[in-house]
């Protein structure tokens, strides 16, 4: 199989703007993050432990866990459902369970099937949304910055997308 570079739109991130209790809920409302977002990456925040034996010249570092986050800077865009969802959290200064929802990460470059039968590798993750800043400099489009904090372990699965609406299966 030849190597090919992956384009950024093929890594998709969705938030449940209905803040459902379960990712399997009937009322779950997935909205894609991306409109007027120019950069978004998941920082896996590896937690490590390093030790060096008294008889060794080199230390050993073990990965003991992860603390993933994703910082997002979005230009304020009236009508964008993610912007409006984050605005609601900001106005409420939501904390604890009130700022928690589900995130769906879909690797659209990793698929099987074709057309309507295309299935993508995906994972769903409980997250808390932390609103960081709102505003900006004069003469510029204001931004709303937020951090998505991952809670616990992801649930691996697959996803189909029909008319822009994903359906996740664990």
End-to-end Cα spacing for the chain:
28
Confidence class for position 163, pLDDT limits 50, 70, 90: confident
CATH code that applies to domain 8-44+63-169 = 2.30.110
**Residue 160 confidence (pLDDT):** 92
Q: 20 vs 26, 30, 81, 82, CA distance in Å?
A: 9, 10, 16, 15
For 112-150, how does the pLDDT look when each residue is reduced to its tens digit (9 = 90+)? 888 878 999 999 999 999 999 999 888 888 999 999 999
Q: Where do the domains of the chain lie?
A: 8-44+63-169
* Predicted pLDDT at 1: 66
| Sign, Cα dihedral of 13, 17, 23, 26 | negative
Q: How far apart are CA 126 and CA 148, in angstroms?
A: 10
Q: 19 or 27: which carries more pLDDT confidence?
A: 19
Alpha-carbon span 128 to 72, nearest angstrom: 13
Residue 25 has pLDDT above 80, yes or no: no
Query: Given a cut of 80, is residue 26 above it in pLDDT?
Result: no
Checking if the pLDDT of 110 tops 70, the result is yes
């Amino acid at each position: 199989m030849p190597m090919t570079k992956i384009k950024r739109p093929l890594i998709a991130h969705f938030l449940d703007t209905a803040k459902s209790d379960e990712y399997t809920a009937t009322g779950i409302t997935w909205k894609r993050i991306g409109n007027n977002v120019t950069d978004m990456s998941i920082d896996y925040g590896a937690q490590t432990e390093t030790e060096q034996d008294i008889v060794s010249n080199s230390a050993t570092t073990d990965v003991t866990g992860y603390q993933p986050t994703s910082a997002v800077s979005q230009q304020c865009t009236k009508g964008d459902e993610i912007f409006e969802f984050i605005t609601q959290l900001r106005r409420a200064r939501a904390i604890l369970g009130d700022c928690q929802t589900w995130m769906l990460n879909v690797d659209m470059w990793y698929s099987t099937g074709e057309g309507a039968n295309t299935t993508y590798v995906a994972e769903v993750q409980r997250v808390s949304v932390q609103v960081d800043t709102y505003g900006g400099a004069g003469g510029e489009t204001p931004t709303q910055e937020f951090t998505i904090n991952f809670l616990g372990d992801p649930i691996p699965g697959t996803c189909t997308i029909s008319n822009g609406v994903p359906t996740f299966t664990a």
